[in-house]
Structure 1
Amino acid sequence: MVGGLDIDRTRIGWWLVGLVLGAAVLYVVYSFVGTFVFGIFLYYATRPVYKRLRRRIRPASLAAATALFALALPVLLLMAYTAAIGLQEFNNIAKKTDIDGLQGAIQPYIDVSTLARSPEELLANPDPALIEEIGRSALGYLGFIGNAVLHLFVMIAIAFYLLRDDHRLSRFFRRQFGDEGGVAEAYVRAVDRDFNSIFFGNILNALLTGTIGAASYNTLNMFAPTELVIPYPTLLGLLTGAASLIPIVGMKLVYFPVSAYLGIETALADPAFLWFPALFFVVSLVVVDTIPDLVLRPYVSGRNLHVGLVMLAYIFGPLMFGWYGIFLGPMILVLVVHFVRIVLPELVAGEPIRPWAVDPTYLFDREPSAANAGETFGSGGSSAEVGETEAADAADSASADGTSASDETGADGSDGVETPPGRTDR
């Protein structure tokens, strides 16, 4: 009893310990927020592939490693190389224009980008002196490169353990924070669904489109007539990928003006080469614009967010937080939108919080029927795929502790019907 209040000093002490530990965790996350955010992006970008590999590859660790090192790592290295070439081209533009402020902000990255050389340059001139020059330059930026490799390792580690143990994390969350009304679970499911849409759909589409554009334009330049080339092809490809975040007209805002510029330049110089601007336009329309849109867009699992809000999140995120803002901005948008839709109406009304504060058809899918099972929230695939993945996870867990998968789940594997404890299936 302190001052007339019944205070449990032991409980207060543990609360203080918890606050200190929580503050330490928040400080670590804040110090490496870009690394953590990009690790979450890698998780959502590779999760659909992992769920399909998981049905054929065991254990789960091998499936997660395969998804990351066979898909994510090569794509990251290709994008890093493309970005380095794009920075070199941006530096060439900056030398001819008055953008010293922006150039000064990214000058350290421009310096490191000089390590990247085009493959045709190395193959056409296999001079040992050139290799030695690249090696000396790399040693000069050894600290920067080592720091980048460390962050890359942490990103891949975060994505790896999220892929392998996301089902365990989900069970822990439901046990520890689940409420009677299912509000927390409804909120997390809605957030998970839109994270999958944002990261696997929109951003991955933009990154891959930018890489395809850069490769296509550099290839076109190999066949371009003399003194008639695509200006800054790698940077142009990256701009095309970034513009794909703008619905419908995004990429066209980039390659339409460039096509017109090439057409006018060719018509004034030598009309016999007008086939090249036409070829550029066709490649941009078909290879860079249409094919990625038809192949990649169908994987977007849902478009429940207003496209204008998403576009603003992509714009203001990098402006406020830096390079990782392109991932963090949409994440904040998703968290805020679903809080406003699910929780805020009941908080304002002062009523008990329920997950059906808004139209329940928005929050929950209907239960899949025996004849036609639909997709489940946060699964990234069909319910059948999720069931197979969970069964495989149960089998891996069982092999580790000596129990069978059916013992862990309490179900008889012969008919898939749950058997109550203490009874046998007749």
Structure 2
Amino acid sequence: MEWPDSRSRVAWWAVALLLGAITAWVVLTYIGTFVLGLFLYYVARPAYRRFRPQFRPSIAAATALLVLAVPVVLLMAYTLAIAAQELARLQRTVDLGPLTDQVEPYVNVSEVVQDPAMLLQNPDVVNAGQLVAEGALGYVPLVGTALINVFLALAVAFYLLRDGDRLGRWIRETFDDQQAFLSVYLREVDEDLGSVFFGNILNAIAIAVVAAIVYSVLNAFAPAEGIPYPALVAVLAGAASLIPVVGMKLVYVPLAIGLFARAVLRGDPLWFPAVFVVATVVFVDFIPDLVLRPYVSGRNLHVGLVMIAYIIGPLLFGWYGLFLGPLLLVVIYHFARLVLPVLIDGDGVDAMPVSVDRRDDGGESSDADDAVDSDPA
């Protein structure tokens, strides 16, 4: 194929800019869906690697998503829906001040999922089902939009799992330079995104879901009022787990003190706040941290930068800022750490302050390694 002349090249560059602008507009319009899909990809990738030797790529990718990604989405969606209902009740009794504008969009849609406690207290099964149907029918457009976005996110994760090697090879052949700057840069970004998404954020989601279950069970046996707003407290505990050092203790320690003080002042049994502390420490704090610690311990980012990204991301972008904030941090951080000094000094790739032999997930090579170092199987 002959290379086009200068006039043709200008025309083709105009077409490239137009197509690039359209692609950027689509991505920015559905940026939340794409970053959610990227998160689900990193969540399902360890399972995909286990299934890949036994199944075809499509079957392995679908199985990994069904085993890990879909349950995570369903459990977290229901937990957030119940937490939104409790937030709406809290807003009716407490002035949230400057936080009102931030929580208002989530409070307005909080009735789409009925409180399970109210449904269980209703002896009429038909009436309970009618309550669910009436609540859902009023939000058909919202639910439909949410389902479409979740489906697109799962599709993004599926094709990244199945065709990630092919995409990596295309990037290498199209954009890589002879000194392998891009190969090293992508490898570092891939490793830290895996740590941030599969380690930190999945850990926060697991804590929120487990805490919601534990606190709801405790409230079923509470001698008095029990834990106030259990699902909302669980979500706050999951979000606080992203903060280094103290983590979810910012939530459950003051709550435990409040439960003990309430029991003493009212003369209620002290066993309930004691059980709350034991259950929180064992099932909410210790076990999730023990299971997911190997995926967090290999993190190379500064903990302060990660904390800032987790806080600023949702404030700037909304719900998907929880995923987009860390993504931007990883991309910018490694560009400033690896590429920028080389661009300023004009040295080769050997001057990049990074070991190219780093591995994640128990010694296995990352997808970026597979994509840039070898052809797909």
TM norm. shorter chain > 0.5: yes
* Residue 202 of structure 2 is aligned to residue 204 of structure 1: yes
* Residue 189 of structure 1: aligned partner: 187
Which of 322, 326, 333 is the aligned partner of 1:326? 322
Task: Give the drift of 1:233.
Answer: 0.8
Gaps of 5+ in 2: none
Partners of 2:195 and 2:171 lie apart in 1 by 22
Q: Which amino acid aligns with 1:357?
A: A
* Residue 378 of structure 1: aligned partner: 366
Partners of 2:110 and 2:325 lie apart in 1 by 26
Partners of 2:121 and 2:34 lie apart in 1 by 41
Task: Give the drift of 1:108.
Answer: 4.6
The 8 Å contact of residues 189 and 377 in structure 1, kept in 2 or not, is answered as: no
When normalised by structure 2's length, the TM-score is 0.91
Partners of 2:312 and 2:112 lie apart in 1 by 31
Task: Give the drift of 1:297.
Answer: 1.4
Gaps of 5+ in 1: 1-6, 368-373, 395-426
Task: Give the drift of 1:99.
Answer: 2.7
The 8 Å contact of residues 185 and 335 in structure 2, kept in 1 or not, is answered as: yes
SS in 2 for 1:343: helix
* Residue 15 of structure 1: aligned partner: 13
Partners of 1:278 and 1:105 lie apart in 2 by 34
- Same amino acid, percent of matched pairs: 49
SS in 1 for 2:350: coil
Task: Give the drift of 1:217.
Answer: 0.7
Q: Which moved more, 1:67-76 or 1:275-284?
A: 67-76
Q: Kindly indicate which of the two structures has a greater share of residues assigned to helix.
A: 2
* Residue 329 of structure 2 is aligned to residue 341 of structure 1: no
Task: Give the drift of 1:357.
Answer: 2.6
SS in 2 for 1:356: helix
SS in 2 for 1:363: coil
SS in 1 for 2:112: coil
Q: How many residues align?
A: 368
Partners of 2:183 and 2:321 lie apart in 1 by 27
* Residue 291 of structure 1: aligned partner: 287
Partners of 1:159 and 1:266 lie apart in 2 by 48
Higher relative contact order (Cα pairs below 8 Å, separated by 6+ residues): 2
Partners of 2:146 and 2:323 lie apart in 1 by 18
* Residue 214 of structure 2: aligned partner: 216
Rate the CA distance shift 1:301–1:163 in 2: closer, same or farther, 3 A: farther
* Residue 53 of structure 2 is aligned to residue 89 of structure 1: no
Which of 347, 350, 355 is the aligned partner of 2:349? 355
Rate the CA distance shift 1:112–1:200 in 2: closer, same or farther, 3 A: same
Report 1:55-204 matches (<5 A).
55-56=53-54, 58-99=55-96, 102-103=99-100, 106-125=103-122, 126-204=124-202
The 8 Å contact of residues 46 and 67 in structure 1, kept in 2 or not, is answered as: yes
Partners of 2:316 and 2:337 lie apart in 1 by 25
Per-residue displacement from partner, 1:107-151 (whole Å, max 9, x unpaired)?
A: 453343213234454344243133223213322211111111111
Partners of 1:265 and 1:72 lie apart in 2 by 40
RMSD (CA atoms): 2.3
Task: Give the drift of 1:55.
Answer: 2.0
Q: Which moved more, 1:297-306 or 1:236-245?
A: 297-306
Rate the CA distance shift 1:343–1:105 in 2: closer, same or farther, 3 A: closer
| Rg comparison, structure with higher value | 1
Task: Give the drift of 1:250.
Answer: 1.1
Q: Which moved more, 1:68-77 or 1:324-333?
A: 68-77
Q: Which amino acid aligns with 1:236?
A: V
* Residue 245 of structure 2 is aligned to residue 248 of structure 1: yes
Task: Give the drift of 1:201.
Answer: 0.5
SS in 2 for 1:300: helix
Task: Give the drift of 1:328.
Answer: 0.8
Per-residue displacement from partner, 1:35-61 (whole Å, max 9, x unpaired)?
A: 1111111101110111111122x2111
When normalised by structure 1's length, the TM-score is 0.81
